[in-house]
Amino acid sequence: MNEAVLVTGGAGFIGSHTVAALRAAGRRVVVLDDFSTGRRENLAEWTDDPAVEVIEGDVRGEVGLLLAGHGPFAAVVHLAAQTSVVRSIAAPIDDLDVNLRATARLMLWAAAAGVRRFVFASSAAVYGEPRRVPVAETEPTTPLSPYGAAKRAAELYLGCLGPLHGVRTVCLRLFNVYGPRQDPGSPYSGVVAMFLARARRGEPLTIFGDGTQTRDLIYVGDVARAIGLAIEAGAEGHVLGGMSEEPGGINVGTGREVAIVELAAAVQRACGASEGTIAFAPARPGEIARSAAVTERAAEVLGFRAEVELDEGLRRTAVWL
């Protein structure tokens, strides 16, 4: 059988878009998902596609047994994760088990299975409150949450385990990802999903704090494309995102800083909603004030630039809801 790409968390929000990008590139795909937050509906498009296999299982479990007979694998894209910063503060050890321990174990399995490339979904949370915005990869990492700390620790583990075992690793530091299939239904949902769902129901959008805080909002289709490029990139090059030549990871953002008040207005435009439907609530504790990515490294190393403008991305997401 031809080589597959393993996508952990492939039934999730970013995962299902990654499956789409990989299929568009003609890759065979094996999804490993425990369906704790991932959904079968997210993969409905590929139900009858023999080049997409779906395995139900937990990345903390016996991955070798779960995946036996489904290889060989050219690459692993590791997206299965505990995704909430807030939840990582409430349950840091659970976050550690999923986001660090399972990542290190998966890398060791990948090395033993002869996988050559490992792409890891890291996060802008590794920076904490950046000293400078936009933030470059060379800036210090001072995570403010267990979530950010585990993502950074996972980068460090991959940065040494990869070279030790001959697996090229790429750690992508994702900024604020939004788009179709992002679950709007949990209190941990991303701001775009929350805002769009509320605007759709004619409810006021709630802004935490004064709304001057900024984020770098990147459309999920762009992120899936970056992941596809990370699989292909540097085939003859050095260890990407490893400790020796790259000090950590590669930012995946747009470089554009958007204030949350500005986002609220853009969401209302995308939904054709009337004005005056914004409520202010106290700021979330421990939040960062500003965030945006320096995007040069992604351009140089991956040949990646975000393409979908915010208004267009919001329209595509509003249509899906």
Pairwise CA distance, residues 83 & 193, whole Å: 15
Of residues 71 through 110, those in contact with ligand UD2 by CB under 6 A are: 83, 85
Interface region with ligand UD2, contact rule CB under 6 A, candidates 3-11, 120-128, 218-226, 249-257: 120-128
Interaction between residue 208 and ligand UD2 (CB under 6 A): yes
- ∠ CA 139-91-138, nearest 5°, is 5
Pairwise CA distance, residues 231 & 119, whole Å: 7
The minimum distance between CB 180 and ligand UD2, in angstroms, equals 15
Q: Which of 215, 138, 133, 212 is nearest to 174 (CA)?
A: 215
Our answer to whether residue 178 is catalytic in this structure is no
The interface mask with ligand UD2, positions 232-261, x = CB under 6 A, is ----------------------------x-
Interaction between residue 210 and ligand UD2 (CB under 6 A): no
Interface region with ligand UD2, contact rule CB under 6 A, candidates 56-64, 122-130, 236-244, 265-273: 122-130
Interaction between residue 141 and ligand UD2 (CB under 6 A): no
Among the options 127, 147, 157, 178, which is catalytic?
147
In the structure encoding, which two tokens stand for residue 119, read together? 């792409």
In order, the DSSP letters of 179-202 are -TT---SSTT--HHHHHHHHHHTT
Interaction between residue 179 and ligand UD2 (CB under 6 A): no
Handedness of CA 8, 185, 254, 246 (dihedral sign): negative
Residues 6+ apart with CB under 8 A from 125: 85, 143, 144, 145, 147, 148, 151
The answer to whether the beta carbons of residues 302 and 230 sit under 8 Å apart is yes
For β-strands 214-215 and 258-259, DSSP reports them as antiparallel
* For ligand UD2, the closer CB: 179 or 228: 179
Among 62, 245, 287, 309, binds ligand UD2 (CB under 6 A): 287
The answer to whether the beta carbons of residues 292 and 259 sit under 8 Å apart is no
Interface region with ligand UD2, contact rule CB under 6 A, candidates 18-26, 37-45, 205-213, 219-227: 205-213
Interaction between residue 190 and ligand UD2 (CB under 6 A): yes
Interaction between residue 310 and ligand UD2 (CB under 6 A): no
Among 82, 103, 213, 268, binds ligand UD2 (CB under 6 A): 213
The answer to whether the beta carbons of residues 142 and 251 sit under 8 Å apart is no
- Residues with a catalytic annotation lie at 147
Residues that bind ligand UD2 (CB under 6 A): 83, 85, 123-125, 176, 190-191, 194, 206-208, 213, 215, 260, 284, 287, 291
